[in-house]
Structure 1
Amino acid sequence: MGGSATFQESFEARLKIINPSCETVKKFLESHSPLLTPGVKEFVNLLRSKGCDVYLVSGGIMEIIEPVAALLDIPKENVFANRLKYFYSGEFAGFDKTCPTSRSGGKPVVVEKLKKQHGYQRLVMIGDGVTDMEACPPADAFIGFGVNVQRKAVKEKSKWFALSFQEIINVLKE
């Protein structure tokens, strides 16, 4: 993000402004179909055909991320994102600060856990944000991704900065 606030402070401030009640989130999901980046479905399918497990690790909100994961056939247990908390009335009560993705340095925690839990010898992180890049290490490689947004720090520090999923697909098919 680039500012002096931590990810958790920034996330908390944005949520206070949005104040997402259970009803608001439900209406948003009903009126906004999940959008997929061109080529992502083919990319995920190619990874699976090569025997790779696919995870979605996001600093976003679980209720918004899960429909995207469902379109990509990524099981819920392979999705790591932030969980909102609500009062019984359905009003916003905050977010689960125990979710690793709710804080700076959380994505490396998820990656480390996956490597230990599953014994992965090679794990590659792909993302457009600094928090994605921070997950390498423990990820063995990082691919900066600049289709939806291009962040200067990510572009400059990535050994590989892809501008489409097709670019990555082409390399995997070589």
Structure 2
Amino acid sequence: MGIRSSNCDRYRSLIVALQEQNKQVFLVSGGFHCLIAPVAAELNIPPENICANKLKFYFTGEYAGFDEKEPTSQSGGKAEVIRLLKEKRGFKTIVHIGDGATDLEACPPANAFIGYGGNIIRESVKARAPWFITDFKDLEEAL
């Protein structure tokens, strides 16, 4: 889901509630790590819990592309990240929250998907999500 630094407050409360229950929170994005890392830091999400594309530059400073080895640089990348989290970290249950088609595609291997429309409501996500929210307070109340 697209998280903008100026909107961190709407996410912070849910993340704190999850972390208080010893749940790990990850940011999985097709966006760029260098843009997501400051937001993750503001939300107290450790850098190792960011799964996003990394930019590459030549020694001259010119843009050289992105790291094609990152799962999120490929089609189906979010599902691959979730599969790897289960495999490498031993997670049994992963709940994925997102606002786009690539988020829907990640369930399975995610055990559950929650559609989010707080930034933008995509009708295809809303129609196919087993649970669709526009405010994280709904999730906090369910915890």
TM (norm. structure 1) is 0.77
Query: CA shift at 1:36, angstroms?
Result: 2.6
CA contact (8 A) 1:36 1:68 kept: no
Give the structure 2 partner of residue 81 of structure 1.
52
Q: Deviations over 1:113-172 (max 9, x none)?
A: 111122212110001011111111000000000011111211110010111111111111
CA contact (8 A) 1:37 1:148 kept: no
RMSD of the TM alignment (CA)? Answer: 1.3
CA distance in 1 between partners of 2:33 and 2:108 (Å): 24
Give the structure 2 partner of residue 97 of structure 1.
68
Bigger mean CA offset, 155-164 vs 116-125: 116-125
Aligned partner letter, 1:127: G
CA contact (8 A) 1:144 1:155 kept: yes
Whether 2:23 is the aligned partner of 1:48: answer no
Bigger mean CA offset, 104-113 vs 117-126: 117-126
52, 67, 74: which one aligns with 2:38: 67
Aligned partner letter, 1:131: T
Give the structure 1 partner of residue 106 of structure 2.
135
Q: Structure 2: where are the runs of 5+ without partners?
A: none
Aligned length: 140
The alignment-based identity, stated in percent, is 46
Q: Structure 1: where are the runs of 5+ without partners?
A: 1-32
CA contact (8 A) 1:43 1:165 kept: yes
Aligned partner letter, 1:97: E
Which of 1 and 2 has greater Rg?
A: 1
